[in-house]
Amino acid sequence: MPSHLTLTVGNVQIVALTDMSFPFPMPLDELWPEVPVEAWDEYRRRYPDTFRDDLMLIEIGCYLIRTPQQTILIDTGYGPGPIESIGGLEGELIDHLKAQNVQPHEIDTVFLSHLHSDHVGWNTIESDGQYVPAFPNARYVVHQQDLDHFRRPDIQANQSIPFMGPSVERLVDLGLLDTLTGDKNLTPEVRAVHTPGHTPGHMSVLVSSEGQQALIEGDVFVHPAQITEHEWNCHFDYDWPLSNVTRRAMLRTVEDKNITVVACHFPLPGYGHVVRENGKRYWKPSA
């Protein structure tokens, strides 16, 4: 049943799923170190549903892609929790998946845009004292550079949630994790595109079918203000200059080709377009 959560792209359906939504517990001047707090005022007015009091209200969106050949899940949220670093919240992804009449065993591919704790949490679940895949028939896909990067002890030490063992290495041990080294079609309609910067192996997903296109951008843009202020980096962007290059290139592409953008950290369902007002770019959510 199509709803505002469903985006149809030719013969492909994208369905927005949420794991949770909450005010991110980090002051704006820490989350966006280079951005003066007053610079947010314009964007608080323009995008009021992305703030709660002085904190950024963040959606943890995941996306189901249904093609004629495959059912693909893009990212797996924070996981079952309770997640101590964000106030003990518990993820709801599986409930929302089932509400779409999709069972975990029906997922063929779990595609991980990158290896941050808010994108890999439901990769595995605990059962009888060990971690098992939450999607028992799926192969999991990530970029090789993210696997290499997040295996570094210095990088692991910086993560507030120690996700690599239970959510990633466990899949490696079970032989379920495939790695990509460049752009690659997952199906004829679904193409993984390397968009580095936020993390070294960050990937976006371009869906093309019957002359229509949508781009699931991952964390290239974390807040809609970055559509206008593409040089604004967030605390979690690993390589700031490269993040900036990737954002500029993506903005040009989606604007030139009028591609629907799918943004997992924008308010649900995260579908929208880049539009111009007085020469500046802005985010326009789909109605």
Which residue bears the tokens 């990769």?
123
The 100-129 site mask, x for binding Zn ion (CB under 5 A), equals: ------------------x-----------
Site string for Zn ion, 61-100 (x = CB under 5 A): ----------------------------------------
To which H or E segment does residue 51 belong? strand 51-52
CA-CA distance, 94 to 74, in Å (whole number)? 13
Residue the block writes with tokens 């892609």: 65
Tell me: does residue 219 bind Zn ion (CB under 5 A). Answer: yes
Q: How many residues bind Zn ion (CB under 5 A)?
A: 2
* SS3 of residue 121 by DSSP: coil
The residue (of 118 and 189) whose beta carbon lies closer to Zn ion is 118
CA atoms within 13 A on the CB side of 121: 24
Span of 7-15, 36-44, 102-110, 213-221 interacting with Zn ion by CB under 5 A: 213-221
User: Closer to Zn ion at the Cβ: 61 or 80?
Assistant: 61
For residue 240, give the H/E element and its range: helix 240-257
For Zn ion, which is the closer residue by CB, 217 or 219?
Answer: 219
Give 146 or 219: the residue with its C-beta nearer to Zn ion. Answer: 219
Which one, 118 or 229, has the nearer CB to Zn ion? Answer: 118
Q: Which is nearer to Zn ion, 12 or 57 (CB)?
A: 57
- Minimum distance from residue 278 beta carbon to Zn ion (Å): 31
Tokens of 11: 């013969």
59 binds Zn ion (CB under 5 A): no
The nearer residue to Zn ion, 189 or 265, going by C-beta atoms, is 265
> Residues, the chain, total?
287
Span interacting with Zn ion, options 150-158, 171-179, 216-224, 249-257, rule CB under 5 A: 216-224
How far is it, in rounded angstroms, from Cα 215 to Cα 207? 6
217 makes contact with Zn ion (CB under 5 A): no
Minimum Å distance from CB 162 to Zn ion? 17
Residue 53 CB, nearest approach to Zn ion (Å): 21
Q: How far is the CB of 119 from Zn ion (least distance, A)?
A: 6
Peptide bond into 269 cis (omega under 30): yes
Do the bridges between strand 71-74 and strand 109-111 make them parallel or antiparallel, or are there none, so unpaired? parallel
| Cis preceding-peptide flag for 82 (omega within 30 of 0) | yes
CA dist 76 and 26 (Å) reads 22
Shortest Cβ 68–Zn ion spacing (Å): 29
Answer yes or no: are the C-beta atoms of 121 and 92 closer than 8 Å.
no
Q: Two tokens at 80?
A: 């079952």
Distance from C-alpha of 171 to C-alpha of 125, rounded to nearest angstrom = 11
We find the least distance from the C-beta atom of residue 74 to Zn ion, in angstroms, to be: 12
Beta bridge partners of 102: none
Smallest separation (angstroms) from Zn ion to the CB of 219: 4
Residues of this chain that bind Zn ion (CB under 5 A): 118, 219
